[in-house]
Structure 1
């Protein structure tokens, strides 16, 4: 576990691979591919049954990796994520019950918002780091710039972020990092095509290093 704050760690990695993994046996080879290609970070979603076990196996194999649980919708899933050893929790929307429960359990939660009212509700809950989701469908960089001009919070845009537009998001000072799936497509994970995933990861890491 790093001594840096989550915000500092996210700024360092710049991009968070958002992963839907169907077979926990593939979690460690996937983590190895990410780490070996310069991206020691993952948001493993709870959209599949293998989410919790995948996180546990990744944490065991790579203790220093930055690992989040994504699509956390219930307090029960907060418990499961903590048991698996996550560094942070991400949810697609702002559920005050889930946020308060995560805060009580002492784990950082980054809930999803996409308009001024939700940002204000998040701030009322003491949150400073928010997911902007679904990013492209909610107005993309134009909406983010408008929100950033008004509110002292930081964002992790996710949803429609790609190799083609990630730099335009990262150019906004309030953006810590972007979440994306393009370097970890589910079909390549299912096919165990670590070479192609490694190449996609290496390409994004190289592109962002030049920024």
Structure 2
């Protein structure tokens, strides 16, 4: 088994943990541990913390060190520096909004499994050529939604997706019903107001609702 295939199997395992991967933008690293514990307790153990705030890496380090059962990932990874920082912080997987040859070369050299983003069939084909069978479809709703992703199932049967971007509890089922979707990414599980007020019970409830979104069959 080559290196990319081994890392793709790790990504697949992560994608199958729950129907939703919470996508988190965190402003206060002190909120990271209780937030992650609430998400894990609610049944969504794979958590993507995006590199969109200064608190992100500190939050990732805290979750990796202190939250049993959490599979912590790093989102908004754009380059080799981000991959290295994510790995050093204790991340188990990385997620990018798109792809570039430079990022893919860096991912080949990194021990961290990458879930790269695509918005077109051509991008998906390019990643398939590099050994990627598990991709993020982003931004899912603006890029064409579940109808576009469903249309890719027949011509690209080797690929499984985690659509992310604009998805809600109400619309997630449309994506999860597709044969080429393993899970969705969602920011609705950790709304800014609940993070700000420390409403961990509320976040756990949102996670439980999301964990109940099982794929048909």
The answer (yes or no) to whether the contact 2:165–2:185 under 8 Å persists in 1 is yes
Q: Secondary structure at the match of 1:175?
A: coil
The verdict on how the C-alpha distance between 1:198 and 1:63 changes in structure 2, with shifts beyond 3 A counting, is closer
2:97 counterpart (92, 100, 106): 92
Q: For residues 52 and 41 of structure 2, what CA distance do their matches in structure 1 show?
A: 26
Which segments of structure 1 move beyond 6 Å, counting only runs of 4 or more? none
- TM-score w.r.t. the length of structure 1 is 0.92
Structure 2 alignment gaps of length 5 or more: 1-8
The answer to whether structure 1 residue 40 and structure 2 residue 79 are counterparts is: no
**Once the two structures are superposed, what CA deviation does each residue of 1:6-50 show, in whole Å capped at 9, x if it has no partner?**
313312311000000011111101011111222222100001111
Q: Secondary structure at the match of 1:169?
A: helix
Kindly tell me the number of residue pairs found equivalent between the two proteins.
Answer: 208
Deviation at 1:157, TM superposition (A): 0.0
Q: For residues 20 and 210 of structure 2, what CA distance do their matches in structure 1 show?
A: 8
Matches within 5 A, 1:70-81: 70-81=75-86
**Once the two structures are superposed, what CA deviation does each residue of 1:52-75 show, in whole Å capped at 9, x if it has no partner?**
111111010125421110001121
**C-alpha RMSD of matched pairs (Å):** 1.7
Matches within 5 A, 1:90-169: 90-151=95-156, 152-169=158-175
The answer to whether structure 1 residue 21 and structure 2 residue 26 are counterparts is: yes
Structure 1 alignment gaps of length 5 or more: none
